[in-house]
Amino acid sequence: MPYRSLTPKELLYRGNADTEVNDTSWSVRWEAVDERQVLDALPAELEFHTSGSTGPSRCWRRTREAAWQEAGMLAEFVTQGAASPPGAVVAFAPPLHVYGALATFLMPARLGVPVWYRKEYVGALPETGQRHAVVVATPWIFSLLLRHIDWVRSFEHLTVLYSSAMLPADAGRLLQEAGPGRVTLIELLGSTETGGIATRRWQGGEPPAWTLFPDVTRVEREAPGTDGADGTDGAVPLVIRGPRLAHQPGEPRPAEWHTGDLVEPLDARTFRLVGRVGRLVKVNGRRVNLDEAEHALRGRLDCADLALVPVNSPMIGEHVDVYVVPSPGAGADDLDLSPVVALLGARPRRVHVVPEISRSALGKLRPQRTPPHATASE
């Protein structure tokens, strides 16, 4: 796949929201560009829009200085602990979104290295000529890297940066098949409203706890009604403060932000993530993290895609609907849903067999609209 060569000036002039910058393949060399050149070319504020996964999409703005500062933190994260600094970036996250703007658009400039970008799944990966590269990943890129495992093994070290939906099962497979210590996975926890909040790095085994970004602090809050009976003992809302919080047009920057996550604090800087408040449901008295359940089911259910959606039933209260895209050539009658029942501890309220599941460009689940020709069963 050809990558159109752009100069840093051309890329910055077009901006991170430009259609061609997001939808075509390109490469840029950042070796001879300094901070002043980048900041002078950027607008005073960058605009981003929420994905619409938890409500109407809204516009949020952050200053170019805050974006440049955060891109520098990402550059430090991918450099720390490596035998040699990264010499290239291969990016798949669209710059339109805050993660792509920071990691695809600005982080290579902070590193001073060439970047290759494309959004398509198919095609050969670029020959970077480097021993250590960074991949800016979205959920489906792990399966792409597995298909090109020889490309992965051509590096002495590959750092995969990821900030999106919960990690796919292919991420663990990649760490194993690449060989011991070859791939480091760096996860980012954040949002359009906050930018990066916390990070963790691992090379296999049980993922470690999350650590706050250097300029982020956690505000102590108690979780109302959390008594431990539902499996969230010790969990509190994740409320943060920091200088990079975004603001809505015409509004001041908020002093703090309620993220909507529940966490188990380990100390002032680290925590375990329990889950999103809206993604924790209680089915038959048992608390289920729907993100973790989806993650587990992807390795057990023979389907092209699936989603677990929380619902409220007038008869039994909180429950779950399952949306399933059958594997190619399969139909509704071919689905074995016993793994879903075993994991939830109950039958889902309803199963929707659909041709596709609505997700954002970064893999986050959007509100599902069941098309008229889809099938459903109680």
Residue 364's CATH number: 3.30.300.30
Which 3 state secondary structure label does DSSP give 147? Answer: helix
- Quote the number of domains for the chain: 2
Do 23 and 132 share a domain, yes or no? yes
Do 194 and 301 share a domain, yes or no? no
Q: In which residue are the tokens 């993660």 written? A: 99
> Has residue 226 been placed in a domain?
no
Q: Largest Cα–Cα distance of the chain, in whole Å? A: 65
Do 211 and 306 share a domain, yes or no? no
pTM beyond cutoff 0.85: no
> Has residue 172 been placed in a domain?
yes
Decide which of 217, 242, 263 is a domain's last residue: 217
> Has residue 275 been placed in a domain?
no
> Has residue 232 been placed in a domain?
no
> Has residue 58 been placed in a domain?
yes
Domain that residue 52 falls in: 4-217
> Has residue 256 been placed in a domain?
no
Decide which of 171, 194, 217 is a domain's last residue: 217
Do 294 and 199 share a domain, yes or no? no
| Order of all β-strands in the sheet with 350-353 | 303-313, 317-326, 350-353, 375-377
Quick one: pLDDT at residue 231? Answer: 47
> Has residue 266 been placed in a domain?
no
* Mean pLDDT, contiguous 10-residue spans, the chain (378 residues): 92 96 96 94 94 72 97 97 93 96 98 95 90 94 95 97 84 93 96 96 90 96 51 80 96 94 94 82 73 79 85 72 86 80 84 85 68 54
Encode 171-201: b = buried (16+ Cβ within 10 Å), e = exposed.
bbbbbeebeeebbbbbbbbbbbbbbbbbbbb
